[in-house]
Chain A
Amino acid sequence: MIWFSALVLIPLMAVVVTAVEGGWDVFWATITNGQTSAAIRLTVLTALGVTAVNVVMGPLIAWVLVRDRFWGKSVLEVMIDIPFALPTIVAGLVLLSLYGNDSPVGVDIANERPAVFLAFLFVTLPFVVRMVQPVLEELDRDVEEAAASLGASRITTFRRIILPSLAPAIAAGAALSFARGVSEYGSLVLLSGNLPFKTEVTSVRILSSIENDNVPAAAAVATVLLAISLAVIVLLDLIQRRVAARG
C-alpha cells in the first residue's frame, strides 16, 4: 500500500517542489500572467461545463441502455466506448474533418471556443455512462415496486430511491470526466487552433512553457490544476454523500 501510494505521491510532490523552487513571487507572476490565467480559466470552466452536461446526460444514456430494448442497442453499446478506445489525436482529426473549415455538415467551429467544449465532451462522454450502468443493472426492480406500493410516484421513487443509489457512481464518473477534461490535449489541439487568450488550454500552455525551457512556469500551472482538481474531487464527494444520505 505504502509503495503504491508513493508511486502516485512522489511525482505529485516533485511537481509542487519544482513550482515553488523559484519562490512565491515567480509562482504568483506565472499564474497571474494574462495568457496563462486565461488558459486556466478557459480550461477549468469548460471542464466544469462538460462535467455538468455529463452528469445529466450520462445517467440518462445509461438508463436507456439498461432499461430499454430497441433495435441497434448493441451497436450503441459499442459506440459509447469509442472515445475511450480512440487515440485522442485521432479523435482530434475526426473532429477537425467534421467541424473544421470545410465541414461536411456545415458547422465550422475551428479556432472557436465551442471547439474546446466539443472536444472535451467527445472524450469524456463514456465516463459517467460506464460508471452508472453497472450500478443501474444491479438495482433491484423489487425496490422500485416496494416504493410504488407504498404510494411513491415515479418521480419520487427516482429522487428518493434510485438517485441516492446512483450518486456515488455519478460522482466518480464526474470526477473522472473533469480530470480528463482538464488534462485533454490531443483531441482539441487540431480543431481549437490554440489561440492565446481565446482557445489556448492549460495543457498546451504547459507544453509551450517546457519548449521555452521554462520548467518552473509549467510546474506552477500544473500545481494550480492539481489544486483545482483536488478541490473538485472533494466537492463532488461531499455532494455525493449528501445525495446518498437524503432519502
Chain B
Amino acid sequence: MSIEVRGLNKNFGDFVALDDVDVTIPTGQLTALLGPSGGGKSTLLRIIAGLEKADTGSVSIEGVEATHLPAQKRNVGFVFQHYAVFKHMTVAKNVAFGLEIRKRPKDEIEHRVRELLELVHLSQFAHRLPSQLSGGQRQRMALARALAVEPSVLLLDEPFGALDAKVRKELRDWLRRLHDDVHVTTVFVTHDQEEALEVADEIVVINEGRVEQVGTPDQLYDEPANDFVMSFLGEVTHLGGLALRPHDIELESSPSLAGSVEGTISRLVRIGFEVRLTVLTVDGEEVSVVVTRAHARAQRLEEGRTVWLTPAPGAAVVPRMAAAV
C-alpha cells in the first residue's frame, strides 16, 4: 500500500477540516479524492505532501513513516490548481529545477528534461517563459516539473479547476493516458464527480472532514454507502422512503406490479433522447422519473395521466435519511 493515513485530525480554529480520517491508497493507481468544496479533501492532500501539519494522526508513504518529515524530504510531486510556475524561469528551467536541487550531472538533467517535455507535448516551448503559455500548457509543464524528480507519489490539487470546460476535458483524458504510461501512484482532488468517475481507478468520497466511502467508480455508483454518496455522484429522487436514481424507476400505465405507487404526471419535459417527468404520488411525494423517448411514446405519456411507479429490479437504492440533500 502506497499511502497509509491513520487517525488524521486537523482543525483550523473552530473549523474541523479533518475528523479522524483513515485512508489507504494503493500503489500504482489513480485515486480521486472527491467531495464538495470545504470538505477537507485538499487539506488531506496537503498533509500527505507535508505542506500542512496534522493535529494528530500519522501518514506513511511507501512504507516510510512520514508524519514528521518536511515536504522537502517526502519525495512527492505536487501539482497546484493555479500552476505555481516559477515565472522568471523558462519552461525547461522549471522542469529542471528539482533535478538541479539534487545536483544531478548536467547532461543527465538535459536528457531528462527533453524526455519529460516530449511526454507532456511541450518540446517546442522549452525556451519560452511560462507567461507565454496557455493555462493548459502551464499545467502540463507543472506536471512535468513534478514528475522530473521521480516522486514515489504524485499529488494533484484540483489540477484542472482553473481551466475552461473544453481544455479540462482534454487534459482529463490526457492525464488518464499519461498515468497508463507512467504508472506512478497518483492522487488527485476534485469536486467534479464526472471527472472522478471518468478518470479514477478508485474514488475516496470525503465530506465534512470524514471519509464517506471508498471504492471503484462502479461500486460507488451502483452501491452507494449512504444518501450523501448517492446524491453526490448523480441525480437522486425519492420514492416511498427510498433514495434512487430517476432512471431506475419503472413507470406503467396500469398497476400490474406489486408495491407500485400511484401518481399523476405533473410535468413532462423532453430533452434530446430522454424524457423527464415529475410525478405527484398519492402520498404527496414529488418523484422525478427519466424514461426514453420511445418508452414515453409507446405509453402515450402526457401531463395529467395517472401512472404507477416501482423501483427497477437491481436499482441502486439507499434508505432515505434525514440529512438527504
| A149-B86 in contact given A142-B80, A156-B101, A247-B93 (Cβ < 8 Å) | no
Report chain A residues within 8 Å CB of B83: 142
- Interchain CB contact under 8 A, A150 and B82: no
Main secondary structure of the interface of A (DSSP, over half): helix
Measured CA separation A164–B87 after assembly (Å): 10
In the complex the two chains form, is A151's CB within 8 Å of B72's CB? yes
Q: Among the listed A149, A153, A160, A161, which residue makes an inter-chain contact with B78, where contact means beta carbons less than 8 Å apart?
A: A149
What's the minimum C-beta distance from A245 to chain B, rounded to whole angstroms?
A: 7
Interface residues of B, Cβ cutoff 8 Å to A: 49-51, 70-78, 80, 82-89, 93, 97-98, 101-102, 142, 145-146, 148-149
CB contacts under 8 Å to B, within A111-164, are 140, 142-143, 145-153, 156, 160-161, 164
Find chain B residues with CB under 8 A from A165 CB: 87-88
Closest 10 CB pairs of A and B: A142-B84, A150-B98, A146-B84, A149-B78, A148-B71, A164-B88, A142-B80, A151-B101, A143-B84, A247-B89
Residue of B nearest to A243 (CB): B88
A152-B89 contact given A140-B82, A142-B84, CB 8 Å threshold: no
**Residues of chain B contacted by A146 (CB below 8 angstroms):** 78, 80, 84, 86, 142, 145
- B102's nearest neighbour on chain A, judged by CB, is A151
Q: List 14 A-B contacts (CB under 8 A).
A: A140-B82, A142-B83, A143-B84, A148-B50, A148-B70, A149-B49, A149-B51, A149-B71, A149-B72, A149-B76, A149-B78, A150-B145, A156-B101, A247-B89
* Minimal Cβ-Cβ distance residue in A for B75: A151
Q: Which residues of B contact A244 (CB under 8 A)?
A: 88
The CA-CA distance from A168 to B71 in the complex, in Å, is 29
**A156 neighbours in B (Cβ, 8 Å):** 101
Report the Cα distance A224→B142, complex, angstroms: 50
- Shortest B134–chain A CB gap in Å is 19
- Give which listed residue, B71, B73, B86, B101, contacts A145 with CB less than 8 A: B71
Residues of A within 8 A of B145 (CB): 146, 150
B84: chain A residues at CB < 8 Å are: 140, 142-143, 145-146
| Nearest CB in chain A to that of B70: its residue | A148
Assuming A145-B80, A149-B50, A152-B97, what are 15 further A-B pairs, CB within 8 angstroms?
A140-B84, A142-B83, A143-B84, A143-B87, A145-B84, A146-B86, A146-B142, A147-B86, A148-B51, A148-B70, A149-B76, A149-B78, A150-B145, A151-B75, A151-B102
Given contacts A145-B78, A146-B78, A247 and B71 within 8 Å (CB-CB)? no
- What distance in Å separates the Cβ of A156 from its nearest Cβ neighbour in chain B? 6
CB distance from A194 to the nearest CB of B (A): 45
Q: Which residues of A contact B (CB under 8 A)?
A: 140, 142-143, 145-153, 156, 160-161, 164-165, 244-245, 247
Which one of A140, A142, A143, A150 contacts B101 once the chains associate, using CB atoms below 8 Å? Answer: A150
Which of the listed residues B75, B87, B102, B148 has the most CB atoms from chain A within 10 Å of its own CB? B87
B57 to chain A, nearest CB (A): 20
B51-A145 in contact (CB<8A): yes
Q: Is there an interface contact between B86 and A142, defined as CB atoms closer than 8 Å?
A: no
Bound CA span A146–B98, Å = 10
Please give me the residue from chain B that is nearest to A153 by CB atom: B72
Q: A149-B49, A149-B51, A150-B145 are in contact. Are A161 and B72 (CB under 8 A)?
A: no
Report chain A residues within 8 Å CB of B89: 247
Q: Cα distance A164–B80 when bound, in Å? A: 21
List the B residue with the shortest CB-CB distance to A244. Answer: B88
Contacts of A152 in B (CB 8 A): 72, 97, 101
Distance between Cα atoms of A245 and B76 in the complex (Å): 27
A143 vs B94: C-alpha distance when bound (angstroms) = 11
A140–B74 Cα gap in the complex (Å)? 22
Chain B residues with Cβ under 8 A from A151's Cβ?
A: 72-73, 75, 98, 101-102, 149
Q: Which of B50, B76, B101 has the most CB of A within 10 A?
A: B101
Instruction: Kindly list chain A residues whose C-beta atoms are within 8 Å of the C-beta of B77.
Output: 149
Question: CB-CB < 8 A to B71: which residues of A?
Answer: 145, 148-149
Are the CB atoms of B72 and A148 closer together than 8 Å?
yes
CB-nearest residue of chain B relative to A154? B72
Residues B149 and A245 in contact, CB atoms below 8 Å apart: no
Contacts of B72 in A (CB 8 A): 148-149, 151-153
A142 touches B82 (CB 8 A): yes
B9 to chain A, nearest CB (A): 22
State the CA gap A161–B86 with chains docked (Å): 7
Residues of B within 8 A of A161 (CB): 86
B75: A residues at CB distance < 8 A: 151
* Complex CA–CA separation, A145 to B46 (angstroms): 10
CB of B88, distance to nearest CB on chain A (Å): 5
Expressed in whole angstroms, the Cα–Cα distance for A152 and B146 within the complex equals 13
A residues near B102, Cβ cutoff 8 Å:
151
Instruction: For the complex, give the distance between the alpha carbons of A152 and B49 in Å.
Output: 14
Complex-state Cα separation, A147 to B73, whole angstroms: 12
Q: Is the CB of B78 within 8 A of A247?
A: no
CB closest chain-A residue, reference B88: A164
| Separation of A121 and B105 alpha carbons in the complex (Å) | 46
Q: Taking CB as reference atom, which chain A residue is nearest B89?
A: A247
Which residues does chain A contribute within 8 Å of B74, judged by CB atoms? 149
Q: Which residues of B contact A153 (CB under 8 A)?
A: 72
